[in-house]
Structure 1
Amino acid sequence: MKVVALSRSALLNHSDLMFGMHSLRRRVFGERLEWDVSISNGLEIDQYDDLMPQYLLAIDQRNVLGCVRLLPTTGHNMLANTFPVLLDGRGAPNSPAIWESSRFCVDAQASETPTMNGLKSATFLLFAAMIDWGLQRNLHAIATVTDLRMERILRRAGWHLDRLGSPRQIGSTKAVAGLLPVTDDALRAVQATGNIHERAIITPANIALAA
């Protein structure tokens, strides 16, 4: 299993990965979690996918086992423009050194063996890839809107969320916003907890290595 880093335009050139990612998001957010998301032709896609985000995909034999979307906080993003209520009246992060992650999910039905603490290895791999990706771009933190379940998963993985506001009920989800540190210490903690020894992220130029 590897992590592929793709821009939106690059993803469109790999239709199998694009459909795999949007199908996984449909299964997780639309069907399993029953979030109020937009689904068309079996794919979960929203307006933030039109803003040319970056994506990290955990893939095995070109099957998408996990994904996360990344957008700069200097433009439109989910925390600032969809969920500002989670900030308790504070301003949303707006800095070139802070990007936002959203639509993080892992295929719970995949046959991969869970790690010792019960989390899927794809979860740790994506967490580590997010930090590594951020370090390569000199980010200080990653902002995110998540639920309390995922906040606990992050804590178990050794990546602690610094809350930006109090949890609030949004639809069927108890949601919370926060910042995740992008530091060498955070990367080492996730790698140690998940028993990860690699930090390479595959790029479009060598994506064939993941086939």
Structure 2
Amino acid sequence: MIIAVSGADQAEFPHLFEQSSRLRHQVFVEEMGWEDLRRADGREFDQFDDEHAVHHFCVRDGAVVGYQRMLPTTRPNLLSSVFPELCEGTPPCSDRIWELTRYCVAPEHRDGRRGVSTAGSELIAGFVEWGMSSGIDNVIIEFEPMWVLRAMQLQFLARPLGFQRKIGNQQIVATQVTFGQRTIDAIRAFRGAHAPVLELWGRLGEATPQALAV
């Protein structure tokens, strides 16, 4: 299950945001070496965790095991404000283009094939379902170059926006990916599961958060 929550609803779902901030710190600081993000309390958040962001949580047995964040490109975002050197020319900006950031999966849930875990493929299905239901068909992602090919294998049209550069201990390339029905069909075939994965909570929808009893 992928739960989508507006950043404006953080106070309504503190357990989701607490768990995801610790997962983000574990992955991006401890594993990837983004030392500028290190905090003594082991929680990672930044200036883009505001009311304009949309957060996706992959939940298993009441625990957040995967996460990604969507940012509108019509506002300051990671590519335009933090890593402009990853883009040759002006970064894309449109209501139909959002930026996917902080994609991560807990180490114990990194199973799967072709480098895509079960939780990871569910997150991918979740952002495509969310985009298709929200009038969004393009996403910018800063990821390792190998993911360009993997995206194309899942029927994303992938277009690098610049050259790869080292960030932390990884080589990163900013890429714009376009998706549609062909993409979600390919993702569901890859997963071997064709049911929708996305639930909208809080002001994004009317779902009742019964699955996360705390």
Q: TM-score, structure 1 length as denominator?
A: 0.89
Distance 1:14 1:118, change over 3 A: same
- Contact 1:141-1:179 at 8 Å conserved across structures: yes
Is it true that 1:164 corresponds to 2:161 in the alignment?
A: yes
Which of 202, 206, 209 is the aligned partner of 1:207?
Answer: 209
Question: CA shift at 1:17, angstroms?
Answer: 1.1
Structure 1 segment 185-200 matched on structure 2, within 5 A: 185-200=182-197
Aligned to 1:120: 117
Deviates more, 1:139-148 or 1:16-25: 139-148
The answer on whether the counterparts of 1:60 and 1:210 sit within 8 Å (CA) in structure 2 is: no
1:64 corresponds to: 64
Q: List aligned pairs for 1:38-77, cutoff 5 A.
A: 38-40=37-39, 41-50=41-50, 52-77=52-77
* Structure 2: gaps (5+ residues): 202-206
- Kindly state the Cα deviation for residue 197 of structure 1 after the two structures are TM-superposed: 1.6
Following TM superposition, by how much is the alpha carbon of 1:151 offset from its aligned partner in structure 2, in angstroms?
Answer: 3.9
Q: 2:204: which partner in 1?
A: none
Contact 1:57 1:64 in 2 (8 A): yes
AA matched with 1:35: W
Give, as a single letter, the amino acid of the residue that structure 2 aligns with 1:196: A
**Root mean square deviation, CA, Å:** 2.0
Q: Quote how far apart the aligned CAs of 1:148 are.
A: 2.6
- Alignment match, 1:141: 138
Summarize deviations over 1:121-172 as a string: whole Å, max 9, x none: 1111000111110000111201111223544554565545321112122342
Structure 1 contact 157–194 (Cα < 8 Å) conserved? no
Shift, 1:51, TM fit: 5.2
Amino acid at match of 1:125: E
Structure 1 Cα separation of the partners of residues 150 and 19 of structure 2: 24
Tell whether the 8 Å contact from 2:6 to 2:55 is kept in structure 1 after alignment. yes
Separation in 2 of the partners of 1:38 and 1:94?
Answer: 26
How many percent identity over aligned positions?
26
Relative to the length of structure 2, the TM-score reads: 0.88
Q: How does 1:82-161 map to 2 (within 5 A)?
A: 82-88=82-88, 90-110=89-109, 114-117=111-114, 119-151=116-148, 153-155=150-152, 157=154, 159=156, 161=158
Which residue identity is paired with 2:128?
I
Correspondence for 2:173 among 166, 173, 176? 176
Distance in 2 separating the partners of 1:207 and 1:168:
40
Unaligned ranges ≥5, structure 1: none
Change (3 A) 1:51 1:11: closer
Aligned residues: 207
1:207 counterpart SS class: coil
- What are the within-5 Å matches in structure 2 for residues 29-44 of structure 1? 29-40=28-39, 41-44=41-44
2:193 aligned counterpart, secondary structure: coil
Quickly say closer, same or farther: Cα 1:98–1:162, change in 2 above 3 A. same
